[in-house]
Structure 1
């Protein structure tokens, strides 16, 4: 029934209605007007009220406009300047009214044109000979003119309504797109955070456990392990700070790992006491795409982390093949796992997401006493 308007809009509508009444009211008072001027005042007040309500409640404004018109015809009054308010009411019914009020305003435009014509040619004060074959052409012209004026007001409101809806739809799409992009960015940062923290902590834990036992027999081994822990922790801290900076501020992606960083990753895993063997055949020709390099690094990082955590010191084999149209990687280690449980953690899910984002696929499954992570990523023709 009532639309939500600001205080400024309410005050503006009220001031417009008061000024409208003050301007159109004196036009009715002439030396010859007599009693008709007194009867026209209530009609002008009702029309001004409809004008004041046009945006707050288009349905009430339409009802008030019809009430004022019917009162005017019941009193036998001639057309008045205050009747202009009907055009503004029809405009707002189409622009701001509900769907029902929209079509009521549409019907009112055509019914109102017919009523105006019949009243002017059949009313007691304006018959002018009544409706006859001589006055019929003039009546048709009057009907068309009234219908055009009322219909034009409604059509302008309908166009504004369509523009407002298009704007709201566009804003909703922009908000949805922004939320989707923010969610994708959060997922990416969470995935990177998991890869960095999980791998670094796995190395730190393995080195700490090794140092605890090695310190009794070989103090130098303990010092080496503590050095590896310090280096790994510092690198992880720098990566976490970078990821938190990206999460806190709207900035571009920070530095991402490449194939050149794989040797450092292998060194960390070997320093944790893992018997790691690497087989790269064929080697990459040229510079692979950055997205593929990031995916390869992160998948290997997570796969080696899982092998470090669950491999129980068993050897780990890494195979990499850089073909012209794809890269294939596999990480295998002995495992007692028979089946991979559903929802087995963020690591396997993250590796699958990274492979999918690069346009490839990843399979992680136990087979014949070995747990193997195998991924194939398309790279196209490398430079």
Structure 2
């Protein structure tokens, strides 16, 4: 019923309506359209009603349409001839189509048709023309009036309908742009969250393992072992801090690149896990024939990083077997470690797979165009992934 307008729109509408009111009232007073004083008063009443309809046309098209019909009825009651104030009807029909609700939109269309019929009957057989009855000679003129009135009223309504279509199209485009921007932002947040998890989770797992080792070393193995463990904690924490700072820089400046590990960093990854007390056996067969793309290297590193982190967290602390097979079109990854019965890992792809690590590994493989499966088999947790080389970038 009521539309929200800006202060500027309200001021413009009020000023336009005030100007229109001055013109049409002055026309009633000095234009000589009312042969009697009573006709002049009726004409002023019509002018004021139409001015009100014009003033609220954008604020409330429904009220404006109702006021226009009231003005028309007031004009027809004393049998007044067409007035200058009737011009407001065209503006009212325009806004019903352009800004009205669905109901008001169709009420405006119906008003155009009914209005054309009423105008025809009133002008052809109205009291101010003598109230002549229907005859064969009056039918052609009635049809001409009907066509002219219908064309004028429907033209105003149609222009409003076209404006309405343009407004809806612009709103749809804006909504589509917003949705695309939100989707891109969400993808970026997910990617950054995945990178943060990969960096922080692995580093913290190593730090925790080393801290436990240092505590036991102080109690039994002596200060040298404790010093080595604390040195590993310091190195790992510094490296994680540097990676986090790069990621935060990327959040502030989109043009900056975040940490992008490569296959050359795998030895450092293995060394960190071995320093945390986990025996890592690596088998690469066959070896890569050429240097894989950056996307493949990143996916392989992150999958191995998370798989080894899970082994640190949930394994029994014994051997971890890592197998890499670099084929011409893909690289196959397999990581196996015995599971600590007290720390079961959910199976990737199952309803229990709520861990960020397994989700992250699966997303890494899928983003690179590959697939990943993880689950426990006879007390051994196995992560298998296959990443295509030619499709990843």
| Normalised TM-score (structure 1) | 0.92
Q: Gaps spanning 5+ residues in structure 1: where?
A: none
- Determine the structure 1 residue equivalent to 2:117: 114
Contact 1:121 1:127 in 2 (8 A): no
- Determine the structure 1 residue equivalent to 2:359: 349
Q: Distance in 2 between matches of 1:153 and 1:30?
A: 27
Q: After superposition, what is the alpha-carbon deviation per residue over 1:141-191, rounded to whole angstroms, capped at 9, x for unaligned?
A: 221111111001101111111122222222222222222222222222222
1:325 corresponds to which of 315, 322, 329 = 329
- Determine the structure 2 residue equivalent to 1:132: 135
| Normalised TM-score (structure 2) | 0.90
- Determine the structure 1 residue equivalent to 2:8: 8
1:362 aligns with 2:372: yes
Q: How big is the shift at 1:130?
A: 5.6
1:203 corresponds to which of 206, 215, 223 = 206
Q: Gaps spanning 5+ residues in structure 2: where?
A: 347-351
- Determine the structure 1 residue equivalent to 2:27: 27
- Determine the structure 2 residue equivalent to 1:60: 63
Q: Distance in 2 between matches of 1:344 and 1:107?
A: 58
Instruction: Give the match's secondary structure for 1:25.
Output: helix
1:375 aligns with 2:378: no
Q: After superposition, what is the alpha-carbon deviation per residue over 1:288-342, rounded to whole angstroms, capped at 9, x for unaligned?
A: 2322221111110011111122333311111011112211101111224497442
RMSD: 2.4
Instruction: Give the match's secondary structure for 1:312.
Output: strand
- Determine the structure 1 residue equivalent to 2:17: 17
Q: Distance in 1 between matches of 2:353 and 2:391?
A: 36
Larger mean CA deviation between 25-34 and 84-93 belongs to 25-34
Contact 2:369 2:388 in 1 (8 A): yes
Q: After superposition, what is the alpha-carbon deviation per residue over 1:230-250, rounded to whole angstroms, capped at 9, x for unaligned?
A: 211111001112223334554
Contact 2:314 2:345 in 1 (8 A): no
Q: Distance in 2 between matches of 1:257 and 1:326?
A: 19
- Determine the structure 1 residue equivalent to 2:100: 97
Task: Give aligned pairs, total.
Answer: 383
- Determine the structure 1 residue equivalent to 2:170: 167
Q: Distance in 2 between matches of 1:75 and 1:140?
A: 25
- Determine the structure 1 residue equivalent to 2:250: 246
- Determine the structure 2 residue equivalent to 1:157: 160
Instruction: Give the match's secondary structure for 1:374.
Output: strand
